[in-house]
Amino acid sequence: MPHTDKNGYSKTRRAAREILGYVIAVISAVIAAVLIRLFIFEPFIVPTPSMEPTLMVGDKVIINKLAYRFGQVERGDIIAFHSTTEDNKELVKRAIAVEGDRIVLTSQGEVYVNDEKIGEDYLKTGQQLSYLDQELTLGPDEIFVMGDNRNNSFDSRYFGMVPEENVFGEFLAVYWPPSRW
C-alpha cells in the first residue's frame, strides 16, 4: 500500500500538486510582466544625442504609459512618441508648447511661448543657438517638441507638430547605467 499523508494524498500526487503550483506562479508572473509592459511601464533605449545632457545615447529609461491617460502633456515634460516621419521611429523629446500655445523662435536662439521667454536650464551648456525666425500657433491636440541638445536634434523645427495621439508616455527615470541615477 503506497504511503499517504493525513489527507490521503500519495507522495506522487503531492509532488504533482507542488509542481502545478510552481507552474501557475511562473505563468502568473509572466502574464503580470507582460500586462505591466503593455499598459503601465515600457523600457526604452535613448537612440540619439538629441536630449543630452538630460538623457545620453544608450541610456535605458522607463516610460510611464499611464501618464497621459489621466492627464495632459504639459510644457517641459519629456515625452515619448511615434514620429510623424515615414520611418515612424519612437523618439524622446521635451514638450515646449502644447495645444493653443503661440511659439516664437528667434535668430538669437530664444524661445517664447505665449509672449514669455522660457527658461531652459536643461539645455546642453556651451551651445551657440540660432533658429530660423518662426512664429507658430499650435492647433488642437498638437505638441511642439525640441531636444535639449538643440544643435543636434531632429525635432518639431523640422518635422512639425506631434499629434497628441502619437504620444505613448512620459519619461520617468533612467534605470541603466546606475551612474546616471
CA distance 10 to 4: 4
Phi, psi of 31 (to 5 degrees): -60, -45
CA distance 171 to 92: 8
CA distances from 96 to 25, 104, 107, 178 (A): 45, 11, 17, 28
Q: Which of 6, 83, 93, 130 is catalytic?
A: 93
Is-catalytic flag, 93? Answer: yes
Q: Which of 6, 10, 28, 50 is catalytic?
A: 50
Residue pair 175/96 in contact (Cβ under 8 Å)? The answer is no
Is-catalytic flag, 11? Answer: no
CA 63 to mean position of chain CA atoms: 4
Q: CA end-to-end span of the chain, whole Å?
A: 62
Question: Would you name the residues annotated as active-site residues?
Answer: 50, 93
